[in-house]
Amino acid sequence: MELTKEEESALDGKQGETLALAYRTLVAIGEASDSDRLIPIEWAHLSGVNYNTIGDAGRDFLSHLSQDAKFKVKTTVNPMGFDFDSVTRYNLDDDFIENQRSIKNSYEKMGAIPSYSCIPYEIFDVPKQGTQVSFAESNAAIYANSFSGLVTNKEGAFSALASALTGKSPCSDLRDDKTRKPNLTIRMKVESPDELTYGMLGYFAGKVAGSSVALSGVNGLDKRSCKSLCAGMGTSGACGMFTFGEEEGEKIDFDKKEMQKIHDELNTSESGDLITLGSPQLGLDEIGDLAAILKGRSFKKRCMIFCPSAIKGQMRDLGYRKEIERAGGELLFDCCTCLSPLVDNKEVDSVTTNSVKGAYYLRTSNKVDVNLKSLKKIVEEETK
Amino acid sequence: MNVKVIVKGQAKGLLLVAKNPLNFLGGIDKKTGIVHDKNHDLFGKSIGDKILVFPYGIGSSVGAYTIYSLKYNHCAPLAMICLKADLTTASGCAISNIPLVVASKNDYDLLQEDKEVILDAIKGQIS
């Protein structure tokens, strides 16, 4: 890799240990991806915020880093483990809360915007077409490349962190137009798809695709389905973007049989003790939809609904919050289904969700069984 | 065999070979290094103190912190050998000082479970 004189000097530690660490990381991933240089990025979105995911090691690392590090570009952050405003209502131990507070403080001290959201593409103004960004959250990276016209790799937590500290990223993989062109097409053959079908299509695509994949036979996606597709893809694979329509090269069908295989892998229970909605977090559109669907109905069991606090004011003003809470929905901000300590396997055996990503992490990390079904089915079967 | 160095370092140990890609966040217990994804071919095994061979990392970007946590909790692999170094694995190894190399497909297929090797991730050699 060719570095500028300034980059070399930072790598050698002449501008401090933090920048040396950041440049060492960028050079390692540059080597891994055959990049010849670093390029500027305008926005970094970081993962690794939830204490449940990064643990004591991550807490200490960030605390140490924040003693002298400052982010160089706009930096937003992923959800935490819980919502500080409502945490007293939950049976969380004080240690967890203090550890989470330490992580939150470290990020904010380094200059992060306290967004605590996995849908930065929905709650911030999106920069102009073709802007280079560095998004770690997998669903957000795929969404940014595929729908928002931005350019990012499917970053690792530390590669995005290194980008936030330096304002740079290796020019490789999806930052190169040649890699953005898919060489595999997946033909969607399942009829009347809903958001769950698209989540499973994404999960299937992630398993078979390289860096980029074309999807044919997909049209008229609503916001919920778009996000479900991106999140499913981000969970199962290394693929960082998709395009619509058929491309040259290999073609694979996603049919009922393939879908059933994925459903069988992720669905481990016929029912759930509680319902979770929101992985990715629900944005204002989806919250509005949900409020409309729930009109006059009530949940028969506990239903946790995860969203970013950026939409808190609007959802109250538009009456959505009142309607959802009337129906018994439990709104949680700044956190998400994935690896939330609020879903505790000592209290629940199984969870109903429409999220493929949620299903994967609920089973592997929260260690609960999962009842996977679409929002329409959840409303039909779990409300009255 | 010659390999491409991603993160420098040296290691000597037994190979642990995974057939499937690894989701570090969802698949591995960060406190013990044991693979807890029932659908993974390494299910139940510990990746600690081995030279871990796997195709590439998948899934959550937070897997990089899992790699760092493994090191912090003294149950990290001695080194890793991949077919393709994804950014989560590469950045996780870089921050955690775990040697990482990429092998060509032909060489990769020669790597056998339980074989003792010396990995020189400075010169880029496995012997």
Tens of pLDDT, residues A72-107: 999 999 999 999 999 999 989 999 999 999 999 999
Same domain (yes/no): A351, A227: no
Count other Cβ atoms within 10 Å, centred on residue A41: 26
Supply the CATH number for residue B104's domain: 3.50.30.10
pLDDT of residue A91: 87
Same domain (yes/no): A246, A299: no
Structural domain total, chain B: 1
Sequence-separated (6 or more) residues with CB below 8 Å from residue B18: B40, B41, B42, B52, B53, B54, B55
- Examine the fold and report which residue of A215, A240, A264 is the final residue of a domain before the chain moves on: A264
pLDDT of residue B59: 87
Same domain (yes/no): A149, A19: yes
| Alpha-helical runs (H) found in A176-297 | 177-180, 195-208, 223-236, 256-266, 284-293
CA-nearest of A263, A133, A135, A146 to A209 is A146
- Confidence band of A361 (pLDDT split at 50, 70, 90): very high
Average of per-residue pLDDT across B82-101: 94
Q: What's the mean pLDDT when you consider all of chain A?
A: 96
Same domain (yes/no): A360, A275: yes
Same domain (yes/no): A9, A149: yes
Residue A289 in this model has a pLDDT that exceeds 90: yes
Supply the CATH number for residue A278's domain: 3.30.499.10
Q: What percent of chain A has pLDDT over 90?
A: 96
CB distance from A362 to chain B under 8 Å? Answer: no
- Confidence band of B67 (pLDDT split at 50, 70, 90): very high
- Confidence band of A339 (pLDDT split at 50, 70, 90): confident
What's the rounded Cα separation, in Å, for the pair A270 and A369?
A: 9
For A237-254, b where at least 16 C-beta lie within 10 A, e where not — what string? bbbbbbbeeebeeeeeeb
- Confidence band of A22 (pLDDT split at 50, 70, 90): very high
Same domain (yes/no): A92, A9: yes
Residue A41 in this model has a pLDDT that exceeds 90: yes
Domain extent at residue B20: 4-126
Token pair belonging to A79: 């959800």
Q: Which residues pair with A277 in a beta bridge?
A: A305
For A218-262, how does the pLDDT look when each residue is reduced to its tens digit (9 = 90+)? 998 999 999 999 999 999 999 999 999 999 999 999 999 999 999
Same domain (yes/no): A298, A323: yes
Residue A384 in this model has a pLDDT that exceeds 90: yes
For A26-38, how does the pLDDT look when each residue is reduced to its tens digit (9 = 90+)? 999 898 888 999 9
pTM above threshold 0.80: yes
pLDDT of residue A31: 87
Q: Are A227 and A264 in contact (CB under 8 A)?
A: no
- Of the candidates A28, A47, A50, the beta carbon closest to that of B6 is on A28
Tell me, what's the ipTM? 0.89
Same domain (yes/no): A141, A202: no
Q: Which of residues 22-81 of B touch A (CB under 8 A)?
A: 23, 25-27, 30-31, 36-37, 39, 56-66, 68-69, 71-73
- In chain A, residues with a C-beta closer than 8 Å to the C-beta of B68 are 54, 57-58, 61, 158
Same domain (yes/no): A67, A169: yes
State the residue for tokens 């926005």.
Answer: A43
For A192-208, how does the pLDDT look when each residue is reduced to its tens digit (9 = 90+)? 999 999 999 999 999 99
Same domain (yes/no): A314, A190: no
Same domain (yes/no): A229, A308: no
Structural domain total, chain A: 3
By C-alpha distance, the chain A residue nearest B27 is: A364
pLDDT of residue A216: 98
For A143-192, how does the pLDDT look when each residue is reduced to its tens digit (9 = 90+)? 999 999 999 999 999 999 999 999 999 999 999 999 999 999 999 999 99
Write the DSSP assignment of chain B as a string of letters: -B-EEEE-EEEEEEEEE-SS-B-HHHHB-TTT-BB--TTSTTTT-B-TTSEEEES-B-S-TTHHHHHHHHHHTT---SEEEESS--HHHHHHHHHHT--EEE--HHHHHH--TT-EEEEEETTTEE-
Long-range contacts of B69-73 (CB under 8 A, 24+ apart): B69/A54, B69/A55, B69/A56, B69/A57, B69/A58, B69/B30, B69/B31, B70/B28, B70/B30, B70/B33, B70/B96, B71/A57, B71/B96, B71/B97, B71/B98, B72/A55, B72/A56, B72/A57, B72/A60, B73/A57, B73/B30, B73/B31, B73/B32, B73/B33
Same domain (yes/no): A66, A145: yes
Domain extent at residue A200: 181-264
